[in-house]
A and B are shown apart, each in its own frame.
Chain A
């Protein structure tokens, strides 16, 4: 496997919430065009790392560089973020939700916007003509629509927090296939998950976290031995 230049660099990243340190000096480089599975027990700092990369948490100290920029605002067009909650309005349909978010990303022309939305909804295996409000979707459909929202701006970097939770095995496998294709197209994908087995043959690297630190990076789904 050939190494490409790092697109995400994290240097001695510390994030504290009051006196609690969620990240305790994370340092890592991540190459472009790869799929990283971020694994670890509850409270290991996975979600905090992802939210900090997404610019939602400000680091207490340390540096993050994404696509050469140290300010998230400069590259936010290039990043897609999917959280554990859906980040969608329950009262609106999927199409309406995505139309609104498309405006936020500057996809202005109505035709271009509608085409882009339809394409992205179809790509996650949903029907763009579904008029039901998102609040009436099943959890799995909501997760997929949430992924569609994250893909709307055709980002180079995808940050996904628990994308397979509450999704049935068949749909989850389809989502993994979709993400693998995106990785093959050159996108860099970070997935925080507790369902690591789904990514066993797809992830390029497994990043293991414990107590707010990266304690190992493996090519296979095998927890590294940690010496304290």
Chain B
């Protein structure tokens, strides 16, 4: 028998394969982020010192908006041809689908972040005064915070008529504590200040929302 882990793996591989073939999510995310980074860079032309102050906000807002594109795409595939119904009539557990979708989105947004980081460093002359490895921790925790809620709310707005608008309306308010923690911790690390409190806040946020999403996802999936 294929257990929940096997189903999660199969669903994740299927999503990666679909994205590899269509490149819908990555292309739109990349184009959007690139636009934000370049436009802001030319608009403000910040010094290295100014960059350290604004980079946290700029980076995470760009990634948040870009992630919304991927989050909408990931469920749009399941609605086309009503493929989601095939999953719902199968014995596969709902949470396997949720975890696979969240992991898939995490990978897509992480790829985006990896591609955008060198550009951010060049355009904003970013040099971290604090330990740079902590930025990696913030990136992982922050990305998870975005995608776990995003995947959940994207599923929730799946059957609404204007889901592209509904997702940010639901996601952004609930992401404010995480966004605040991401921005503050990134700014603190770049300026060589302590970010411990904000990282702990991010860990707590991730744990709480991952648990809540896992508990509620089956209801959301089967809602009519």
What residues make up the interface of A, taking CB atoms closer than 8 Å to B?
A: 17, 54-58, 73, 76-77, 79, 81, 83, 85-92, 96, 100-101, 103-108, 133, 149
Contact = CB atoms under 8 A, between A and B. Distances in A.
B90 interface: yes
25 contacts: A17-B224, A54-B89, A55-B89, A56-B89, A58-B222, A58-B224, A81-B85, A81-B89, A85-B81, A87-B81, A87-B82, A87-B86, A90-B80, A91-B17, A92-B21, A96-B17, A101-B86, A101-B90, A103-B6, A104-B7, A104-B10, A104-B90, A104-B92, A108-B1, A108-B2
B100 to A, nearest CB: 11
Interface string B14-57: 10011001100000000000000000000000000000000000
The 10 closest A-B pairs by CB, nearest first: A103-B10, A104-B90, A87-B86, A104-B92, A108-B2, A106-B1, A85-B82, A85-B81, A81-B89, A86-B81
Contacts of A79: 89
Contacts of B10: 100, 103-104
Given A90-B80, A108-B6, 5 more contacts: A81-B85, A91-B22, A92-B21, A96-B17, A100-B11
Nearest to B89: A81
Given A58-B224, A103-B10, A87 B91 contact: no
- Contact residues on B (Cβ < 8 Å of other chain), bracket: 20 to 34
Contacts, number: 77
B14 A100 contact: yes
B159 interface: no
